[in-house]
Amino acid sequence: MTRSLLGAAALLLSACAATPVPDLAPTDVPDGWQGPVTTEATVWPERNWWDRFGDTELSTLIEQVRANNLDLANNRRNLRAAQLTLREAGFNLLPTPVLSISTGATYGVTRNNGVTIESGPNTPTRANFSLSYNDILSKPLTYERATADYDARIAQLMDLSLNTLGTASSTYFQLLLTRDKIAAAQQNVANAEAIGAIAQARVNAGVAVPIEALQQQIAIQRERANLSSLRQSELSARASLALLLGRGVQDFDVSGQTLTTMTVPTVQPGLPAELLLRRPSLVQAEANLRGATASVDVSRLKLLPQISLTGSAGASSTKLLDFVSTPTLLADVSASLAQTLLDNGQRLRNIEQARIQLENSLSSYRKAVLAAFNEIEVLLRNIQLLEQLGHVAAENLNAAEESFRIAQARYREGVIDYQSVLNAQNTLFSTRNSYLDNKLQRLNAMISLYQALGGGWQAGTEPGI
């Protein structure tokens, strides 16, 4: 009987072949990058990509974020929970064992040649061990679906971790930029006050109208207000960075004061196909696709009879000593088939819903892949453009500083009017801010590229969050 049922199970399983995981379209993955890749050697990001910026304080802060960030702590706990869930799914692949031992008083009545003989009471000891394996066909597919879900959870947690570390780096850069702008604003105030002193001296000497001094006083107050606003922004950036470290802002500070010494690293991504195993969001989408494929097969198996196997073995004795030495042994193996005959088409509807979900998962995967490749192409071009603009910004800053120096000297000598020196002053202020903004944009663009390339992680490796 058991052999017949197992043979039937094999035939049923072969008739319900596994659904293959859908592939991406041939045009979804490009052969190479169109963006500028300046070297032949490909260098994917390392797991400690933040060290490439050449700032020891940034590296120290990132390690502190990894150790103390509250969101990352939640990620680690969620990962442990996912591991327990997968382990439980693995145990479900095994038969369910049950061991029971019981004792109880019994009485016996026999007849011998018409004479009734009563015996007892006695206390036999019984032990029974059974193994049950229910729903044989669907358990492997259910485990496959659980494995895909676990892989998706790991990828999701890695994506959250990468975003947290990227945010911490960007916040640190923003803090240093604000301090650079505070230093520039202090210099702007000093320059405005110097021009104001010259304007007042010219008014006092009768060679200029009072409106020049009044307008410059307005400019001085504007720059002082800007300086106060920047100091408030510096506090806000410090508070954001402190929160990422799991600390309060009251006793938190960083020693860095400027972005000018920060290195802008270079990254040369490898073949685009490698990105499918390096970027957490793509690994997660692929795992969701595998899970949806397994769900289709699980739904299809509901059309087949459910096969269950049960095996049991028992021992009994009226005396405990005999139970240990020479018990009476019994064994039994049985198998069963269970088939739902009428469900009003529910199983067919479940299959159709699972297939629709599979098609949606494939579309989501393709969309994630296309978006990832497009993002990297844009970032590569953007990094090249920002580098070019950085050179222009540096040249413009040198020119603006020299122009202001000349205008200030010529105004002191009375060669040019106040409006000319005011224009030179405003140009210097805006050019200085543009130069600083470009440096921050270049650094943030590199953070975005590190994130887009997966931050040095690969599927199948330890999460390391």
Structure confidence by residue, pLDDT tens digits, 374-404: 999 999 999 999 999 999 999 999 999 999 9
Provide the whole-model pTM: 0.80
**Which residues are bridge partners to 128 per DSSP?**
100, 314
Residue 282 burial (CB count, 10 A): 22
Q: What is the CA radius of gyration of the chain?
A: 38
The pLDDT, as a whole number, for residue 320 is 46
Q: Is the pLDDT of residue 356 over 60?
A: yes
Backbone angles phi, psi at 335, to 5 degrees: -135, 155
- How many separate domains does the chain show? 1
Strand order in the sheet with 306-317: 96-103, 125-133, 306-317, 328-338
Question: What CA–CA distance (Å, rounded) separates 181 from 434?
Answer: 10
pLDDT at site 335: 54
pLDDT tens digits, one per residue of 42-88:
678 889 999 999 999 999 999 999 999 999 999 889 888 888 888 88
pLDDT at position 176, please? 97
CA dist 146 and 153 (Å) reads 10
Please tell me which residue, 44 or 181, carries the higher pLDDT value.
Answer: 181
Q: What is the CATH number of the domain that holds 418?
A: 1.20.1600.10
Q: Which amino acid is at 68?
A: N
Cβ atoms of 310 and 128 within 8 Å: the answer is no
pLDDT category at 336 given cuts 50, 70, 90 is low
The reply to whether 194 falls in a domain is yes
Using the Cα atoms of residue 355, residue 360, residue 365 and residue 369 in order, give the sign of their dihedral: positive
Are β-strands 125-133 and 115-122 bridged in parallel, bridged antiparallel, or unpaired? unpaired
Quickly state the pLDDT bin for 8 (edges 50, 70, 90). Answer: very low
Q: Is residue 459 part of a domain?
A: no
CA distance 195 to 213: 9
For residue 331, tell me if it sits in a domain: no
- Is residue 117 included in any domain, yes or no? no
Residue 265 lies in a domain: yes
> Quick check: is 277 in a domain?
yes
Structural domain containing residue 177: 2-95+136-304+345-452
Determine contact, residues 293/358, Cβ cutoff 8 Å. yes
63 inside domain: yes
| pLDDT average, residue stretch 327-348 | 61
Q: Is residue 125 part of a domain?
A: no
**Which tens digit of pLDDT belongs to each residue from 203-221?**
999 888 899 899 989 989 9
Q: Which residues pair with 125 in a beta bridge?
A: 103, 317
Q: What is the mean pLDDT of the chain?
A: 83
Structure tokens at 427: 């140009």
Cα–Cα distance for residue pair 27/308, rounded to 1 Å = 46
